[in-house]
A and B are shown apart, each in its own frame.
Chain A
Amino acid sequence: MTRKHRRLVIVLACGIGLGSASALALNAFSSSMVYFMAPSDIAARRPAVGRPIRLGGLVQAGSLHRETVDGEPTAVFKVTDGKHTIPVTYTGILPDLFREGQGVVALGALEPGNVFKASEVLAKHDETYMPKDVADALKKAGMWNPAKGPAPPSSTWATASLKQP
């Protein structure tokens, strides 16, 4: 085994290691990349039923109630960005920081009948902090100009535009 041989073997091994790593990564990327969508985005471009997405917006004030579905307690609420709303169901314990009128990000997929079934609900922030994606979505929907102070509570927004599907 000469020095040249050894180098060749090491380079080959590196190639195989990194090659398989990138093959795995590319393969996994195509199937597990999850897009963030605000309710308006969903209204504009409806994603396929069952395709995992992250839905972000504010929990509409007064929309949260609980039901029992298949014997398991389920929270039902609406997520809004001021222009559109999406009804969301979530089975499980809502995070400690979940509150009406505050930002939320839900991971899940649309079900037949335009209901978003969440498998995970994230609201990990304090009352002054808003998830960046949600803040951007609110600005895009024209509901919040950060130069004019904090986001208004969703209960004060015109609800007329919220009735649209």
Chain B
Amino acid sequence: MIPELGNFALALACALAFAQAVIGIWGAHRRDVRLMAATPGLAVGQLLALAASAGALVWASVSNDFSVINVAENSAIAKPLLYKISGTWGNHEGSILLWGLILGICGGLVSVFGRNLPSALRARVLGVLGGTSAGFLLFCLTTSNPFFRDFPPPVDGRGMNPLLQDPGLAFHPPILYMGYVGFAVPFAFAVAALLEGRIDAAWGRWVRPWALVSWCFLTCGIALGSWWAYYELGWGGYWFWDPVENASLMPWLTGTALVHSSIVVEKRESLKIWTVLLAIGTFSLSLSGTFLVRSGILNSVHAFANDPARGVFILALLGLVIGGSLLLFALRAPLLRSGGIFAPVSREGALVLNNILLCSICAVVIAGTMTPPFADLLFGQKISVGAPYFNLTVLPLAIPVFIAMAVGPLLPWKRGRLWPLVEHAWWAALIAALVGGVCAFGMKLLPALAFGAAAWLIIGSFAEVFERTLLFRAPVANSVRRARGLPVAVLGAAIAHAGMGVTVAGIAGTSLDSNKIVEAKVGDSFSVGGYQWILLGLDDAPGPNYRARVASIEVLKDGRPLAMMKPERRMFTLQQQTTSDVAIRTNLFRDLYAVLGDERDGKAVLRLHVNPLAPWIWLGALIMAAGGALSLADRRLRVGAPSRAPKAALPA
């Protein structure tokens, strides 16, 4: 009964979304106040229906209702409760439902927080969100319905892929999807602006927080996925340039560009057309990324199923959303007039440079990701583009970004000169050069360069803060008073930029890892990265739905015991599958990392790593997201919100 209710709620949500699209756009077009006023209610109704639907699926999974095909195929009685809940979005059907739910949440938030938006703009935004949502929910209902039943039900389910039974992965998809789907709101604002044929600073002020929130979630989601790969796959790496990783990186790059270009729209009423294009592009990339991966067009670990019917629906949906919005852009963009003239050397100029570079990086990533499927489709050639391509193309383009990132905020709006930059940032450059120079002794060129860049980013990012507070140049009390008056957004930007530096340092440090693959019997001892590793024992241990083989490895530094590490190898009986559970000991400056491989004649294969600065990779991403969240708290974003008063009455 409950799954049927879930199915009904899903269909209801689809109908409400459709109504929201038609009423919102038609009502705004006709300037019908009653129709426009109905859209927020529809959006909230759609959200409630979707929540009920998702709740029904979770209930079916938790109560072991194996007559629901989706539950039977992805769950089992012995599966721990956390994974019964998280497992509902760990498969194709459930993940589409989660997409829809998050899109519904976005619509609900726009209706709740958008009360003082001009009502026509709000109706159009909600209309566009509703139209997108209707497409997805229709896709979910017709080709990937999670509520389909099968009789007679099996006694037990087939269980979940053991690799996915991990707490990190329970939260990775929702957070990542919040990022992906969150960009639907800037997209909806962009399309609404095109429909209205008008963009002003208030539009920028509305779009920026949404873009920023989505960007924060996307940053965390990507970091969580990379961290999962690091500790779950046990290959010692954290980023493999896998198509699905690239699919999340591409919207992140354009989303970062969007966050920056919307500042220009807000502050200077310039770059409007470009920002609209970025908003459309970012959501299109989120959309095509997820769906190309899900449909199996891009070969990846994340491909759930290859179903031609789904592929055709997805392509049609992508064509409609992306093609439609780009067509609208081509027709209406000339209406959007840009104001604000600026010199190439200015804050605007620096932000344009940031956008060009980020989009160039995105372009090379797209080229590398899309070449293999197209070469297969067009020429029947089976090729792959691996990490060397991405390292060769992304790194040279990232270096100017890093250089410009730290000093860009020092430039004044409209017109600036380069000399003051040197005046304000020479000490950061000096420290960076010193760090790079010191590192150059004893390590290769590239890591030394990267450490220099990291130091430049971390220290240089605060140059603007130091500048504004006159630190070390004015009395301390004066500096503190100035720091209090500092806009939070300035501090947020500095923190986010420094976070990038922390990540760069982590990547550079990890590239200096020492590792060894050994064959060990109990009592053997090895020396890796200045530590002594002793295999003390190999034992069996039971688990909730697996049997484990546990190695006990004692790690000594200078003869003193430092840590006891217990990497596991888990045999999942139901799926006949083995996973390795990596043991990691970190002190934030280096990771000890041990993996247990297979055994033969009482000897076990062990992979032992010492990864310097590895945690910084994800710490940096967290700092970036925290910086983004901090600048959201800026008073200027709230107080300056537009009043709804007479704008609604103006003709388009």
A interface residues (Cβ-Cβ under 8 A, vs B): 1-3, 6, 9-10, 13-14, 17-18, 20-22, 24-25, 27-29, 31-36, 52, 54, 66, 68, 72-73, 91-94, 96-97, 107, 124, 126-127, 131-133, 136
Contacts and interface: CB of A to CB of B under 8 A. Distances in A.
The 10 closest A-B pairs by CB, nearest first: A36-B382, A93-B597, A21-B360, A28-B392, A17-B356, A32-B388, A73-B519, A32-B389, A24-B393, A17-B360
Interface string B383-395: 1111011001100
Question: Which of A34, A35, A52, A94 gathers the greatest number of chain B CB atoms within 10 Å?
Answer: A34
B334 interface: no
Contacts of B381: 35
8 contacts: A17-B356, A29-B371, A29-B385, A72-B518, A72-B519, A91-B517, A96-B578, A126-B161
Interface stretch (B183-191, B338-346, B435-443, B448-456): B338-346
A34 B382 CA distance: 9
Given A35-B383, A96-B577, A96-B580, A21 B397 contact: yes
Contact of B580 (A32, A73, A93): A93
Nearest to A124: B301
**B interface, how many residues as a size bin?**
35 or more
Interface string B182-211: 000000000000000000000000000000
Contact of B576 (A28, A32, A127, A131): A127
Contacts of A36: 382-384
A1 to B, nearest CB: 5
Contacts of A32: 385-386, 388-389, 392
Nearest to A36: B382
B45 to A, nearest CB: 40
Interface in B255-295: none
Contacts of B368: 25
A32 B577 CA distance: 33
B607 A92 contact: yes
A51 to B, nearest CB: 13
Contacts of A17: 356-357, 359-360
A6 B368 CA distance: 32
Nearest to A68: B519
B367 A25 contact: yes
Contacts of B382: 35-36, 54, 133, 136
Nearest to B305: A129
Contact of B392 (A6, A27, A107): A27
Contacts of B396: 20, 24
Interface in B489-523: 517-519
Contacts, number: 128
Contacts of B107: none
A29 to B, nearest CB: 6
Question: Which of B306, B359, B361, B389 gathers the greatest number of chain A CB atoms within 10 Å?
Answer: B389
B421 interface: no
A21 B518 contact: no
B165 interface: no
B352 interface: yes
A55 B576 CA distance: 25
Contacts of B301: 124
Contact of B517 (A6, A25, A93, A96): A93
B299 interface: yes
Contacts of A52: 386
A145 B537 CA distance: 48
B234 interface: yes
A94 B352 CA distance: 47
B559 to A, nearest CB: 24
B595 interface: yes
A2 B389 CA distance: 40
A96 B234 CA distance: 10
